A and B are shown apart, each in its own frame.
Chain A
């Protein structure tokens, strides 16, 4: 049997806490004059820009005791305070927003709404508790405007990462994205790649599934496709300081994936001759993964086996994934993670990954 889940008792960083934009009207004060008028005249303030990748009331996406009597989970500072900051008391908690502003087809509207969301995060969360940090949200399909938002926000050191979905319009390694990676590297910001899709395409090559559980489970192979792209296109050779954090990937798929991509590389590397070492080495140097959800095997020895196969103590970052439902009470450390790696998982790896936390 797997060991018991544990509560993070010592000093630690929570690398994935969600904030929910309660409604579009909330963003009005945070838009500039032009976009405020634009949004109001078109009635966009009345549109619900919730993304389809994470229905907020699906059981897996909100723990029952974290569900507010009214409104959306994780949409108010007080919820975050009562559910995360007080019971867990992290050194830092990194807030991630998943919202329609990131995926609007109009690149300009997308950029304007993302800027408003970032303003909202700063004013209504970061200003209210010194332990809070956040990811910069960006128009995901517009790398030049994403880079501009990074430049605009970079002076505020409480923003420690740039947030993307794992599945957008183009695989994330494609050169079109590189202006964003250049800006991120220059400002010491990792790219957080969160599970999710803007659904410009079906979630996999086999087409559109019927059920949410299929979308959800298919996120793990979706991440693999994203890593294929980041590795093969040579992003980490072009930007050697860049770190990528896979958020809510499930983790345990990684070893078999590394075996596969290494073998492919041995066979076809003349197609991508810039890759001068095995993909697994590149990934171990540049890629980190948050630990909730952790797709636990049933046995303690299996957890240890997977960790041995991952082959690096540097890659895992602690997260609660609040308010998603992966554990009860405060037992947020996945069952079976051995004690000897916890200091790194809980704190050291986060400090090494997020330079702005130091």
Chain B
């Protein structure tokens, strides 16, 4: 096999990554029953009998089995007591928070099933439960970990009520919505929820995933995780297209959107394509008063993982310049198999000023951390 061996030497010149803000950390439960204490008796019983109902054939497992146990966990992230990776706070502190002296970790729970639940009353109750669970299990015992407000966006009043309930609570940093929903997020039916996010000072975190029921490509369901994994980046692109072209940022000028776990190197070409199509098709979207790339530049932030690795590592520098170094924020995706380590993620030395922004300052400014 003729494959270049990756350069995995640790970063020794600069340790500016130390104390970084991790924009994507996944907490898990030790037992699925942990959510029960935050659910009413009715929803506990519902959960026990009917359970979650999403828009896919498997109710408890992913359509695309990952390549490591626990639906794609880092092999060394299983806590000593054998519970699930991400479920043990002391072990997470040892492997991530204390190892790198992380300043803040932004939680992105992918548990509970609130967002994709077809029974939207149940989904809404699950969202509230997962929010309480984040505080009790994570943010209260470890204040560096910031919770993400969970919502079921098909339950508009429930979602808005939940956002308003958490407003001003600094233990929550943002509202988390999965990109793959029933309809593209830019559609008008979702604007009241996005308005509530902006009005209450929450950036919207779009962490890949969701069970929309639509195939993961426009040409149908792929066969392999090998296709599903890159399709996340492709979904992120169509999500950006939706938010920009449907006029969300004209309607909600103070909305801030963070794209999580879709990488970022695809953004410049998407902007060139948007601007070029808009040149011909602007009459269809007359409410757009700037070119599409201007909205992207003003309203969208990206997290790094899974970071692209250019065939010629130096090409990364240009890509960052084209996007704007002030819009890129480091994330590990701990404890997933494809997580990025701040010591090794960039295969090319970055200027110190860029490092400070990507590892620290951009997230600090966006989330208003001290």
A residues near B (Cβ < 8 Å) are 58-60, 166-174, 197, 200-214, 216-218, 220-222, 224-226, 228-229, 232-233, 250, 252-253, 255-272, 276-278, 280, 293, 295-298, 302, 305-306, 308-309, 311, 325
B324 cross-chain contacts in A, Cβ below 8 A: none
Check if B315 is an interface residue, CB within 8 A of chain A: yes
Can you name the residue of chain A whose Cβ is closest to the Cβ of B4? A278
Question: B224–A172 contact, CB under 8 A?
Answer: no
Check if B241 is an interface residue, CB within 8 A of chain A: yes
Minimum CB–CB distance for A255 against chain B, Å: 7
Question: B185–A206 contact, CB under 8 A?
Answer: yes
Minimum CB–CB distance for A201 against chain B, Å: 5
Question: B227–A171 contact, CB under 8 A?
Answer: yes
Question: A218–B241 contact, CB under 8 A?
Answer: yes
Check if B289 is an interface residue, CB within 8 A of chain A: no
Question: B315–A255 contact, CB under 8 A?
Answer: yes
- Measured CA separation A170–B221 after assembly (Å): 7
Q: Known contacts A206-B185, A207-B212, A295-B273; is A167 also within 8 Å of B219 by CB?
A: yes
Can you name the residue of chain B whose Cβ is closest to the Cβ of A265? B226
Question: B226–A206 contact, CB under 8 A?
Answer: no
Additional 16 contacts, C-beta under 8 A, given A209-B186, A232-B223, A252-B273: A170-B220, A174-B220, A201-B217, A205-B215, A206-B235, A209-B238, A211-B245, A214-B241, A220-B273, A228-B226, A228-B230, A253-B266, A258-B311, A260-B263, A277-B1, A305-B318
Q: Which of B214, B222, B276 contacts A229 (CB 8 A)?
A: B222
A261 cross-chain contacts in B, Cβ below 8 A: 230
Question: A205–B337 contact, CB under 8 A?
Answer: no
Question: A263–B311 contact, CB under 8 A?
Answer: no
Task: Tell me which of A168, A207, A224, A261 has the highest count of chain B C-beta atoms within 10 A of its own C-beta.
Answer: A207
Question: A217–B273 contact, CB under 8 A?
Answer: yes
B residues near A (Cβ < 8 Å) are 1-3, 6, 67, 179-187, 212, 214-227, 229-231, 233-235, 237-239, 241-242, 245-246, 263, 265-266, 268-270, 272-274, 276-278, 280-281, 283-285, 306, 308-312, 315, 318-319, 322, 337-338
Q: Known contacts A206-B238, A252-B273; is A267 also within 8 Å of B280 by CB?
A: no
Q: Known contacts A205-B180, A206-B242, A295-B276; is A271 also within 8 Å of B230 by CB?
A: no
Question: A60–B281 contact, CB under 8 A?
Answer: yes
Minimum CB–CB distance for A314 against chain B, Å: 16
Can you name the residue of chain A whose Cβ is closest to the Cβ of B206? A206
Question: B2–A277 contact, CB under 8 A?
Answer: yes
- Measured CA separation A167–B2 after assembly (Å): 33
Can you name the residue of chain A whose Cβ is closest to the Cβ of B319? A256
14 contacts between A and B (CB under 8 A): A171-B222, A201-B219, A205-B215, A210-B184, A213-B245, A226-B217, A229-B219, A259-B311, A260-B230, A260-B263, A260-B308, A271-B225, A295-B276, A309-B315
Q: Known contacts A211-B245, A224-B234, A267-B67; is A171 also within 8 Å of B273 by CB?
A: no
- Measured CA separation A225–B225 after assembly (Å): 12
B221 cross-chain contacts in A, Cβ below 8 A: 170-171
Minimum CB–CB distance for A341 against chain B, Å: 18
Minimum CB–CB distance for A315 against chain B, Å: 14
What 5 pairs across the A-B complex have the smallest Cβ distances? A225-B217, A167-B219, A204-B238, A60-B280, A221-B234
A224 cross-chain contacts in B, Cβ below 8 A: 230, 233-234
B182 cross-chain contacts in A, Cβ below 8 A: 207
B215 cross-chain contacts in A, Cβ below 8 A: 201, 205
Question: B226–A232 contact, CB under 8 A?
Answer: yes
Minimum CB–CB distance for A42 against chain B, Å: 29
B263 cross-chain contacts in A, Cβ below 8 A: 260
Can you name the residue of chain B whose Cβ is closest to the Cβ of A299? B322
Minimum CB–CB distance for A284 against chain B, Å: 11
- Measured CA separation A224–B179 after assembly (Å): 18
Question: B280–A217 contact, CB under 8 A?
Answer: no
Q: Which of A212, A297, A311 contacts B272 (CB 8 A)?
A: A297
A220 cross-chain contacts in B, Cβ below 8 A: 237, 269-270, 273
Minimum CB–CB distance for A169 against chain B, Å: 6
A298 cross-chain contacts in B, Cβ below 8 A: 272
B183 cross-chain contacts in A, Cβ below 8 A: 206-208
- Measured CA separation A13–B363 after assembly (Å): 51
Task: Tell me which of B214, B220, B338 has the highest count of chain A C-beta atoms within 10 A of its own C-beta.
Answer: B220
Can you name the residue of chain A whose Cβ is closest to the Cβ of B268? A297
Question: A268–B223 contact, CB under 8 A?
Answer: no
